[in-house]
Amino acid sequence: MPVKGLGAVARAFHRPLCLEETAFRDPEPGELLVRMSATGVCHTDLHAVDGDWPVKPPLPFIPGHEGVGVIVKAGREVHGVKEGDRVGLPWLRTACGECEWCLTGWETLCPRAAYGGYTANGSFAEYALAPAAYVGHIPARLTDVEAAPILCAGVTTWKALKEAEVTAGQWVAISGVGGLGQMAVQYAVTMGLHVIAVDVSSEKLWRAKDLGAEITLNAREEDVARRVQSEVGGAHGVIVTAVSLTAFREAIAMTRRKGTCVLVGLPPGEFPVPLFDVVLKRLTIRGSLVGTREDLQEALSVSAESGVRSRIQTQPLETVNDALDQLRAGKVEGRIVLTMSQGSSVL
Ligand code: NAD
Ligand code: ZN
Ligand code: ZN
């Protein structure tokens, strides 16, 4: 028997989501039906809803990939979780489990991967279906609302810091200290790194300072790359989460000789790579996409144990369009987490 509940459905790009009563079918073998209680709103949801990227999500779809909820029905052949367990629904919804990337612990790169809230319906709803083998397991110390942003902002920046190949005592620059960048600053501090935060918003930079950034730079007011080079000789690792192409060029110029610049943000378009800098300084420029299931469990545990949390503003699922507008206007300081009352749902 399908259940009914509220879903926020994208029916056209660049239009408000439609809040509709939606039917959620029974879980298939290996699948879970999850009653959602909280979901973070990532800038990727905005790219999805606006149809920003070259490969667009098939319409109609329900966005959302930072969902937390309780399993209400488990399909046959589900192992490791059961009805009543609290789980997280991340961006990496599933992968094939058989290709060279899946077999070597790089399931995020699987060509047959499905993405929650993009190629499949996501968590902006009172219920969602999810393959059991790919859900996150939420540590008891995290509330649903606290756990939600870790499902994407947390795991993505935790992984990006690992990909930056930096060690305690070195400098890392985080360009863009919004939803993702704020988590990156905190994880970096926890890892014993010296942190430089770069943004175009002074409020976000104040917050980054509060969270432990030693140097904060406003890219609207100064030549940030020159400052990073003159103050610390360049950052050993740079993580770019900024939704701005100019920030990517600046990030490469901030990188120290032999350093690594990790590209995470996904503003549509291209940016020029300064070939002479890359070759003569032996720079590594590397993309990084969310994280594997292992990275996700690490990010959740580190947050649970060390207190790394988003600055969270909660509001009801029904206000999802307002949340997207705030994000579009750059007004969200950390993460908006939508909460579900389940008042209108029927089992
Ligand atoms: P956000 O809107 O919360 O934060 C973006 C930040 O970039 C803001 O603080 C903004 O002020 C800042 N910014 C804008 N222009 C800048 C500039 N020129 N220099 C420095 N900072 C600047 O967004 P978010 O949720 O943190 O997502 C950020 C980006 O990361 C999005 O493009 C999103 O799609 C992408 N993303 C990628 C992955 C991945 O796996 N690679 C995962 C999640 C999100
Ligand atoms: Zn995301
Ligand atoms: Zn695969």
Domain boundaries along the sequence of the chain: 3-152+291-346, 156-287
**What is the rounded distance in angstroms from the CA atom of residue 314 to the CA atom of residue 323?**
10
β-pair type (31-40, 127-131): antiparallel
Whole-angstrom CA distances from 21 to 7, 33, 175 are: 6, 16, 40
What CATH topology corresponds to 3-152+291-346? Quinone Oxidoreductase; Chain A, domain 1 (3.90.180)
Q: Do domains 3-152+291-346 and 156-287 have the same CATH topology?
A: no
Q: State residue 342's pLDDT score.
A: 61
CB-CB contact of 305 with 281 (8 Å):
no
CB-CB contact of 86 with 69 (8 Å):
yes
Does the Cβ of 242 fall within 6 Å of ligand 1? yes
Taking the centre of ligand 2 as the mean of its atom positions, its distance from the CA of residue 235, in whole angstroms, is 25
CB-CB contact of 39 with 59 (8 Å):
no
Number of H helices, E strands in the chain: 11, 17
Taking the centre of ligand 1 as the mean of its atom positions, its distance from the CA of residue 42, in whole angstroms, is 9
Read off the tokens for 283.
Answer: 């720079």
Radius of gyration of the chain (CA): 20
What CATH topology corresponds to 156-287? Rossmann fold (3.40.50)
* Residue stretches of the chain with pLDDT short of 50: 343-347
Q: Which residue has the tokens 């329900």?
A: 62
CB atoms < 10 A from the CB of 347, how many? Answer: 11
CB atoms < 10 A from the CB of 225, how many? Answer: 22
Does the Cβ of 261 fall within 6 Å of ligand 1? no
Does the Cβ of 296 fall within 6 Å of ligand 1? no
Q: State residue 85's pLDDT score.
A: 98
Looking at the DSSP bridge assignments, the partners of residue 215 are 196
Identify which ligand lies nearest to the alpha carbon of 335: 1
Under DSSP, the state recorded for 61 is: B
Does the Cβ of 69 fall within 6 Å of ligand 1? no
Whole-angstrom CA distances from 46 to 182, 266, 329, 330 are: 18, 11, 11, 12
Q: What predicted TM-score, i.e. pTM, was given to this entire model?
A: 0.97
| Cα 340–chain centre separation | 20
Under DSSP, the state recorded for 113 is: -
pLDDT tens profile 218-275: 999 999 999 999 999 999 999 999 999 999 999 999 999 999 999 999 999 999 999 9
**What is the rounded distance in angstroms from the CA atom of residue 264 to the CA atom of residue 42?**
13
Does the Cβ of 267 fall within 6 Å of ligand 1? yes
Q: State residue 341's pLDDT score.
A: 83
β-pair type (215-218, 235-240): unpaired
Q: What is the rounded end-to-end Cα distance, in angstroms, of the chain?
A: 9
Q: Write out the E strands in 168-280.
A: 171-175, 194-199, 215-218, 235-240, 255-263
pLDDT tens profile 164-190: 999 999 999 999 999 999 999 999 999
Q: State residue 1's pLDDT score.
A: 84
243, 244, 246, 295, best to mutate for ligand 1 pocket (most atoms within 8 Å of CB) = 243
**SS3 state at 290:** coil
Which residues are CB-neighbours of 229 under 8 A, at least 6 positions away?
A: 253, 254
CB-CB contact of 8 with 310 (8 Å):
no
CB atoms < 10 A from the CB of 221, how many? Answer: 9
CB-CB contact of 70 with 35 (8 Å):
yes
Does the Cβ of 200 fall within 6 Å of ligand 1? yes
Read off the tokens for 215.
Answer: 């140097």
